[in-house]
Structure 1
Amino acid sequence: MSKTKSFLLASVLCFTLLAGTCLQLRAQRQESPVPLAFKQGGRIVFLGGSLFENELEKGYLEFAMTSRWPDLDLTFRNLGWTGDNVFAEARSTFTTPPTPYQQLFQQIRSTNPDHVLIAYGGVESQNGKEGLNRFVEGLEAIIDSVDALGAQTILLSTIPVKLAGSLENTVIQNKNLKLYADAISSIASKRKKRYVDLYSPIAGNTNNLFLDNGIHLNDAGYYYLAQVLEQALGWPPRESKVTVETSNAKATASGPAKIISSQDEKIVFSLQEAILPLPEIASRKSSAKTSVSVQINGLKNGRYTLMENGQQLVTASAADWAKGVVLDHGVSQEQAIRICNDIVKKNKLFFQQYRPMNRTYILGFRAYEQGRHKQGLDDLNSLIAGLEEQIKLHRKPVVKTYELNLSSTSSN
């Protein structure tokens, strides 16, 4: 390896380590943020570039927010547009008017938002320090527009890239992305807006969070991003810990669990979490911080099977039960996955509605040719509402019954 390549590789590694260290120091210095609270009927909008458009196929961010408030009827609309910047230059259209910029504000107003999460800066950062002032002006103009609607703005930072062409370009691009992240933070501080630092957590995470292009997040990246967002909004980890003591004459349970019956041969208890776990993803199992974990103490050596609603759920050794076993599948995970899937379906329908193919021919100056198809776009409202109703019906955890046979199936 040449000296130049060695230096660049070392620079990338040092940058990553430094980012992780800064994250730890910042966490030590900062107090926990005041938790964000939504109101009944709240409308939340995602506005930005590829970070939000790619979320359309994941649903994790929306799931993280809607499942936190199972008793509130929240509405989410995703206005993410890949390649977009604060001047809406990616939202080009052959229809004039509106201009892309006018179209952006029309789209924001049409959602009637209460909260707008804004994630810009990734595209603009390619202009480096020279383009920073123009970016700041553009972002502040969008904030002004959101303020005028009476909505609350939540500013999200840029995210780093894993690889942008060469190692040298990666270092330069991440330096610029951090520069723009800091600028967004300064705007949030000046204008007293809530700020979400995505850059530092992602830069300090050693897991594979990116697609092969090294720029966009993969499933694991969005799964992690959902947790970062929850923490930044002041919400505690969604973990639920259940402890069952079997060594007493009568079994006891702590956490969101209640003993139904306790006999010599088996224990039956019920469980209802406050919120659903994050849906499991193919690339990794759920962790204790995102799901329910059950700890069972006092078991003799052997292996024990926990049943959920009459179905075998998980078998583990007495030693593993004493440590705590994460319930990474079962009824709650099935609920979470179903909701996430409905979120994705709903968002794809809304995408078709607000960004229809042949927009110029349906809604623009050539509507005289295909304007009849506008009714088809309006008809999507009922389908979207139907999916939102399904999300509403299944977003609250249900009561589950668990049974543990105290006769082990085998020795350790």
Structure 2
Amino acid sequence: MLTCADSFAQFGGGGGGQVKAAIHDGDRIALVGGTFIEREQQYGYFELALNLALPETNFTVRNLGWSGDTVTAISRARFGNQQEAWSHLTKSLDLVDPTVIFVGYGTNEAFRGKEGLDEFKANYAKLLDELEKRTQRIFLIKPLPMENMGPPLPDPEQYNANVELYGKAIEQLAYDRGHRTMDLNQAFAKYKPTGKSEPEHLTDNGMHLTKFGYWYVAPKMVEGLAPWTNAPPLQAVAANPLKPHDRVLIPLPYASVPGKEAPNSIPCAIHFFQEGKGVLKSPGEAPEVAANTEQWGRGVDIPATILYGKTEQLRQAILRKNQLFFDRFRPQNETYLYLFRKHEQGNNAVEIPQFDPLIEEQDKKIFELKQPVAFDVQFEEATN
């Protein structure tokens, strides 16, 4: 099991003081950045993995990503200028009122190489000044390298050298200001398909992650924030001591490979505190599974259809929440609602806050869906 303390070195540390726990009950998490951040909301795997790792922690996630954005927030200018772009970002942050912020910039700026590095650091520092008005719990995500997909796409060697340069600058900013960095580059670079079900690449053009790419990196992002126990064998929670007829709580597994049917079974470990035989009874019509306590401790295959089904329900609730918040934060007709044509339909802007209760309803659903599933277990103690 990987703990937050164990993974602190992996994910980088701040220069001063003790780093606070990553995610607390009641936290409001904002994701801020460019294309890498924005597109995550289409798949929901990072938020899914984070919820699965923290089933007892009630928090919310809001995606404020904007494709093509930089640390100056320039993509948010719409029809305005730099001041308008910055104002849009700050208003969006005020809307979320975050207690935790994940920041993902540097992908676009790295194209400028050494020439643009000092400007990037200065602009990033200005952004952090703004974010730190809201919280000190900030995670800086280093930009991913570009995959070499061969001709006709360009050789990414020079760009990846720039990414390394900008990543080190981000690490230094985090260290100087007491924040943490998230570095996925090693896991990204070492990716190799393990079978025919996995694609050769994590991106569709060298830069932008595919659905599979987001699925692949999400658990690696979460490993540095919370204990990741959702990989097989699942670790069930049993009472101590277990009564003859009791229940165990089995956590939801991470989503199955995109595009592939979920497995029918999954290894599950139950650590009984008495020697004997345990018979697990799945909800529904799935067959019972019997094994002795030693076997259960190592892991025994159990029916998984209900578990993977609930995981996908959870992901769909996340996606629904993301769409509702996107419509709240970036309504498609905002030119008519807020900008130079608001004299035509600006009166309809009063309807936009009506998304809030719908979003909150999905937040509640997410918390309910991520809870472990209770399985009945019949236990027979060993007799001497």
User: In structure 2, what is the Cα distance between the partners aligned to 1:72 and 1:234?
Assistant: 11
CA distance in 2, matches of 1:74, 1:361: 33
Q: Aligned partners of 1:30, 1:97: CA distance in 2, in Å?
A: 36
2:30 counterpart of 1:55: no
* Number of the residue aligned with 2:382: none
Out of 248, 253, 259, the residue aligned to residue 277 of structure 1 is 253
Give the TM-score, by structure 2 length. 0.79
Against the structure 1 CA distance between its residues 125 and 313, is the aligned structure 2 distance closer, same or farther, given a 3 Å change threshold?
farther
Matches within 5 A, 1:55-204: 55-95=40-80, 99-163=84-148, 166=151, 169-204=155-190
1:256 to 2:234 alignment:
no
- Match in the other structure for 1:235: 227
Shift of 1:109: 2.3
8 Å contact kept, 2:23–2:225: no
With the length of structure 1 as denominator, give the TM-score of the two structures.
Answer: 0.74
How has the CA–CA distance of structure 1 residues 400 and 325 changed in structure 2, closer, same or farther, with 3 Å as cutoff? same
Q: SS state of the match for residue 57, structure 1? A: coil
Over 3 Å counting, the alpha-carbon distance change for 1:242 and 1:232 in structure 2 is: closer
Moved more, 223-232 or 348-357: 223-232
Judge conservation of contact 2:289–2:302 (CA < 8 Å) in 1. no
Distance in 2 (alpha carbons) for counterparts of 1:286 and 1:293: 16
Q: CA deviation at 1:31?
A: 9.8
Give the distance between the partners of 2:262 and 2:298, measured in 1 at CA.
16
Cα distance between partner residues in 2 of 1:257 and 1:150: 38
Cα gap change, 1:165 to 1:61, in 2 (>3 Å): same
- 1:284-337 Cα deviation digits (max 9, x unpaired): 6889xxx753599xxxxxxxx986224226999xxx999845558333322221
Equivalence for 2:27 = 42
- Which deviates the most, 50-59 or 142-151? 142-151
Equivalent pairs, count = 356
Give 3-state SS (helix, strand or coil) of 2:373's partner.
Answer: coil
Q: 1:403 to 1:241 in 2, by over 3 A?
A: farther
Q: 1:393 maps to what in 2? A: 368
Give secondary structure in 2 for the equivalent of 1:235: coil
The one of the two structures with greater contact order (alpha-carbon pairs below 8 A, sep at least 6) is 2
Counterpart of 1:345 in structure 2 is 320
Contact 1:40 1:72 in 2 (8 A): yes
**Alpha-carbon distance in structure 2 between the residues aligned to 1:74 and 1:338:** 18
Amino acid at match of 1:397: P
Residues 374-409 of structure 1: per-residue CA shift (max 9 Å, x gap): 1332221121111112112222113113689xxxxx
Q: Does 1:332 align with 2:307?
A: yes
Question: Share of identical aligned residues, percent?
Answer: 28
Q: Unaligned 5+ residue runs, structure 1?
A: 1-26, 244-254, 262-267, 297-304, 405-412
Report the Cα offset of residue 351 of structure 1. Answer: 0.7
CA distance 1:354–1:31, change in 2 (3 Å): closer
In structure 2, which of residues 323, 337, 346 is the aligned counterpart of residue 362 of structure 1?
Answer: 337
SS at match of 2:348: helix
Partner of 2:276: none
Per-residue CA deviation, residues 177-230 of structure 1 (Å, 9 max, x unaligned), is 222112111211122211111112111222345233222112332222222112
